[in-house]
Structure 1
Amino acid sequence: MSQREQQNYIPALTGVRALAAYLVFISHYEYTFDQNFPHFIQRFFLEFHIGVTIFFVLSGFLIAFRYYDNFHLTKEWFKQYLKNRVARIYPMYFLITAGAFVVYYFTRDPSVVNGFPSAIGLFFMHITFVRGFFHQLNFTGVAQGWSLTVEECFYFSAPIAFYILHRYRKYFLQILALTGFGFLMVLIFRNVNWYGFFGNFTFMMLYTFFGRCFEFFVGIKLALMIRKKGFHRTNKLKFTYIGFFLIFFCVWLMSLLPIPKGWSAGLHNPLGIIINNYLLAVSIATFFYGLITETTVMKKVLANPFVELLGKSSYIFYLIHLGYMYVFIYNGINWLNDYTFDLYDKWGLDWHSPFQYDNLNILYAFVLLNAVSIFLFKFIEEPLNHFIRKSDFLVKAKPKQ
């Protein structure tokens, strides 16, 4: 981490990354609660995809907080900026994505390619992030990696957005222009049979940068406000808890909405899109404002060194919590369950196995995924990040003074 990044570092917001990743994890495994919990609880957990919105608002905030005051639309600046983004995002995404296609070579799991004729071609679409523009390919490979396409679109467009804000003070106009462009793309391509490229409005609004740009711009707006007013304020309102309540109020609202046919959550309801992309984004920004400007128990917990470590490794956790890594752990737990009952039979015992309960198995998987994530962060992601930043990739590294 550079000296400038250290000055702009807020530990509690790193802890928030772990919270966001865990919310997404719960949303993907909510079915384990279908027997022992009321249905409305299951629906509530189903809408914990809000972790993705937290990531998007946080990205908007951090990029603006770190770069807005010192950006230059020059070739050298942009190369250094891109180098930092590549070092942070790309190595682990490439390795985990490559792993998914290696596993596909041996297993031929159809979900990895979803009918696409060339696994090599699809792999190329993944590592260049373009698969995220195709509805039918959105959940192929590393399924949750679709959000990286959204992130990369923001990274590339952020310097231009900063320039427009600096020179013309156009904030909402940028959001309208980007969203309008997304609508135009759907109108042009929705009847073209090209693997769902901008295939429908729901897809565009929820799975592309053009539909979700408001979330990033809310983060940018918060960063500019903090830059102007500082970390201290005089009023006593607890924005941390107000924002936290509003976040889960949005979740509750989405859990009440009927799920449209062919989709999987209240998020996909037209009203759900409005709640998720707009009301939720503002609620998250309110929560962040409180974390940044207040001293609360929640801030202390999120800034705890262990929670901070979980936050630093949460990017890997997010990339592996679905897919072949989880399947490997799940199969391992099932093997332990069978092995345990074999031992019971051998010993003549009629006991319960600690691995026979779905709820507990999800907990075991959660712990193991975190352990794997921390290991990969410490021994692969962090060293590769430092290596790329210190290398001559894109721009020659500055010599040590």
Structure 2
Amino acid sequence: MPTAQPESRQYFPALTGLRAVAAGLVFVHHFNPFSAEKFGWTVHTLAAELHIGVTIFFVLSGFLIGYRYLGQERLQLRTYFANRFARIYPLYFLLTTATFVLCYYLGRDTADNLLEQYVLNITFLRGLFQQYLYTGIAQGWSLTTEEMFYVSAPLAFWLVRRSAHWLWALPLVLLAVGGALVLAGRPQPWHGFFDSFDFLLQFVYLGRAAEFFTGVALAWWLRQRGGQLPFQGLTYVGLAGMLACVAALSRLHGPEEYAFGVMTWPGMFINNMVLPLVGIGPLLWGLVQEDTWLRRLLGSGPLVLLGKSSYAFYLIHMGVFQQLLYEVVGNQIVCVLLLYVGSILLYRLLEEPLNRWLRRVLGRPAAPASVARNTADVTISG
């Protein structure tokens, strides 16, 4: 099987297509179409554990951000943070604001502290508080985790460039800091701030840093050592590892419908550590370096388009927008198709134009489309 060396490449279409798949997995997790009554408990629980789409996003973020910036001895912080802000914040701010306005006027959220919730949402702080975790765009909790990685990445990259040992040491240090915050907050719990070790390991960057650093480590290996494939067929080894992890999580699923395997301690270990190392990491490595049918499929035009619009899809696939759409059309399949159409329109008409405009405003001229395609990074947020 031929391989493709990545040294001169900045953009990997297959990884953009993988982002579309990851968003689809999260959708199936949230709206499991495989009822236990019709398809059996085994199929139902396998689909229920497809929350691994979020883990795919986290590893992808670590890899693409690391691949783009690890090689820069002097990282231009203004450009780096301007790029992150322009890519992530505009669409999130607009859709979050629209969510709160709609919920208020439709009477779907009558909480007394809506303004407090709104501020915590638009500042990405809500993901640190159990009480506010699912407010606003519920699935947006993961953006708090992403943002904490983005903010800390320049320091992390500076350390890694000086010693590769930080690739494994930093996740342990961050986990220890998170554990200390959990213990410190127990006597006086405040809105569920670092509520528990379960909360830390399921929702907070400090407990999930290993997923990002698996991607960073792969980027470091490809950039610094050439990343020669250890053997052929790494793509399929990664796929097999992912399937094995999903199967293991499904076996840990409790007897109730929403007792997900990832909510158990063994499940958290599988999701946060084993899945990135034996599944997603090898899959990314294979997609970057091996010429396979899967890479060609994921890099095809339709999947790349869905991948580019996956941030918008992720934000609207569950919540008030999806609910209103379903009330109008009354059919789940039609609703899903319209959500995909809507996400593509949001990407083309709002997300990408605002991204390019903000980069100009913040001091860096927007690159031509042909150049932008070759420097794009792939994260949960586009």
Normalising by structure 1, report the TM-score: 0.85
Pairwise CA distance, 1:154: 0.2
State how far apart, in whole Å, the 1-side matches of 2:364 and 2:345 are. Answer: 30
Residue 377 (structure 1) aligned with residue 347 (structure 2): yes
State how far apart, in whole Å, the 2-side matches of 1:385 and 1:53 are. Answer: 25
Aligned residue type for 1:217: F
1:240 counterpart (226, 235, 238): 235
Alignment partner, residue 106 of structure 2: 107
Larger CA deviation: 235-244 vs 181-190: 235-244
**Equivalences, count:** 359
Choose 1 or 2 for highest CA Rg: 1
Pairwise CA distance, 1:295: 0.6
Give runs of aligned pairs for residues 133-152 of structure 1, distance below 5 A: 133-152=128-147
1:249-295 CA deviation, whole Å, 9 max, x = no partner? 10110011143999741101000000000001111010000101101
1:39 counterpart (41, 49, 63): 41
2:189 counterpart (193, 196, 199): 193
State how far apart, in whole Å, the 2-side matches of 1:260 and 1:171 are. Answer: 38
State how far apart, in whole Å, the 1-side matches of 2:37 and 2:289 are. Answer: 42
State how far apart, in whole Å, the 1-side matches of 2:250 and 2:367 are. Answer: 54
State how far apart, in whole Å, the 2-side matches of 1:291 and 1:399 are. Answer: 26
Residue 157 (structure 1) aligned with residue 152 (structure 2): yes
Kept in 2, the 8 Å contact 1:190–1:197? The answer is: no
Alignment partner, residue 307 of structure 1: 303
Show structure 2 runs of 5+ residues with no match. 1-7, 369-382
Alignment partner, residue 210 of structure 2: 214
Kept in 2, the 8 Å contact 1:222–1:285? The answer is: yes
Instruction: Report percent identity of matched pairs.
Output: 40
Show structure 1 runs of 5+ residues with no match. 1-5, 335-360
Could you list the runs of 4 or more consecutive aligned residues of structure 1 that deviate by over 6 angstroms after TM superposition?
A: 260-263
Residue 259 (structure 1) aligned with residue 254 (structure 2): yes
1:68 counterpart (67, 70, 78): 70
State how far apart, in whole Å, the 1-side matches of 2:298 and 2:367 are. Answer: 36
Normalising by structure 2, report the TM-score: 0.89
Give runs of aligned pairs for residues 230-379 of structure 1, distance below 5 A: 230=226, 233=229, 236-259=231-254, 264-282=259-277, 283-334=279-330, 361-379=331-349
Alignment partner, residue 25 of structure 1: 27
1:92-145 CA deviation, whole Å, 9 max, x = no partner? 1111101110111112324xx7x5x32112111111100000012101110000
Alignment partner, residue 128 of structure 1: 123
User: Residues 331 and 374 from structure 1, CA distance in 2 versus in 1: closer, same or farther, beyond 3 angstroms?
Assistant: same
Kept in 2, the 8 Å contact 1:320–1:369? The answer is: yes
Pairwise CA distance, 1:8: 0.6
Higher normalized contact order (CA 8 Å, seq sep 6+, divided by chain length)? 2
